[in-house]
Amino acid sequence: MLATGRRLWARARRARRWEEVSSSIDGFYAVKKHKTSKAWMHEHVTDHYVRRAKAEGWRSRAAFKLMEIAEKDGLLRPGMVVVDLGAAPGGWSQVAAERVGSGGRVLALDLLEMPPVAGVEFIQGDFREDAVLRGLTLRLGGPPVDLVISDMAPNISGIAVSDQARAMHLAELALEFAAGHLRPGGNFLVKTFQGEGFDAFRRAMAAVFGKVAVRKPKSSRDRSSEVYLLGLGRRPQLQEG
């Protein structure tokens, strides 16, 4: 395994242990979470991008986030091989499949079931499990990947430190996958949240990619700490062998 991958995997394992410990106190926040969920639902159903996604046939408002970033940075082109991590309900996969066309390939993975998307190969499984990762790698076969996109996010507990650790755990696993599967020069887009571990993760990305940029799409809610990190140009010296 790549040295970078080993370091990231160790950090991810630590984050996962923290996830297991923190889950024992989530129940204290159940009432607060219920109230917050009601407010979120009201905002969601009245949201401009939610209504637009429904009108235009996109599975989620997140489709507009990928469209904006892809257009700004030229991420999606016909014939590309794309892996979409945390794909359900399928908004990003829809955008990717439309942009790469019939000559490209989109492979999507999620723990949740996802109804079929035209032009997308779907694997259901937990990205944190080694067996699922091996299955994804075997399914890929053929040419190396041009682009890895990850909109993965943990279930939010309302406990900031726990939620941040969970989010960084997923981002680190996505980076390890990208480092090991992207072709030299390939790109990586990942959801992150500003907070503990963000700067260290950005430095880890800089060791893998020639350029790392922060993107905050217009369709990302202003109050959210959500940002996307974009790694451009996977460094060729990372190639195994």
Residues labelled catalytic: 191
The reply to whether 92 sits in an annotated binding site is: yes
Angstrom distance (rounded) from CA 145 to CA 8: 20
The reply to whether 151 sits in an annotated binding site is: yes
Burial bucket for residue 228 (CB in 10 Å: 0-12, 13-18, 19+)? buried
For residue 147, the cross-strand partners are: 82, 187
Written as one letter, the residue type at 52 is R
For the chain, the C-alpha Rg in angstroms (whole number) is 17
The reply to whether 126 sits in an annotated binding site is: yes
Angstrom distance (rounded) from CA 107 to CA 22: 32
The reply to whether 90 sits in an annotated binding site is: yes
Rounded (to 5) percent helix, strand, coil in the chain: 50, 20, 30
Angstrom distance (rounded) from CA 136 to CA 180: 12
Angstrom distance (rounded) from CA 175 to CA 98: 24
Q: Which of 177, 193, 239, 169 is nearest to 11 (CA)?
A: 169
Q: How many residues does the chain have?
A: 241
The reply to whether 146 sits in an annotated binding site is: no
Binding residues: 90, 92, 110, 126, 151
Binding residues for S-adenosyl-L-methionine: 90, 92, 110, 126, 151
